[in-house]
Amino acid sequence: MSSESVDPGHGHSPAAWTAVTIMLVAFVIGTAAFFFELAWLVWASAGLVVVGLLVGWIMARAGYGSDATSGH
């Protein structure tokens, strides 16, 4: 039995960590804003989730993603 495995990264990269951190902060802000009935801040946090996705994608394309996510 071979113990060799090919690990595609599964998001263990600076791009993934940055994107997930931005989106996690956005969800926390959005949840608090929803609780305090601040609709504008809920929508702003939804926009921040999109920013997190874009930052992660841009960083992955710039070479900071794992090999599986950067397209190499």
Least Cα distance to 18 among 67, 52, 51 occurs for: 52
Which has the higher per-residue pLDDT, 53 or 67? 53
3-state secondary structure of 20: helix
The distance between the two most distant Cα atoms of the chain, rounded to a whole number of Å, is 58
SS3 14: helix
Tell me the pTM. Answer: 0.79
Q: How much is the pLDDT for 66?
A: 84
Domain locations along the chain: 14-63
Please calculate the CA angle 51-55-61 and round it to the nearest 5 degrees.
Answer: 145
Structural contact between residues 55 and 17, judged by C-beta atoms closer than 8 angstroms: no
Residue pLDDT, tens place only, 1-58? 555 666 665 668 999 999 999 999 999 999 999 999 999 999 999 999 999 999 999 9
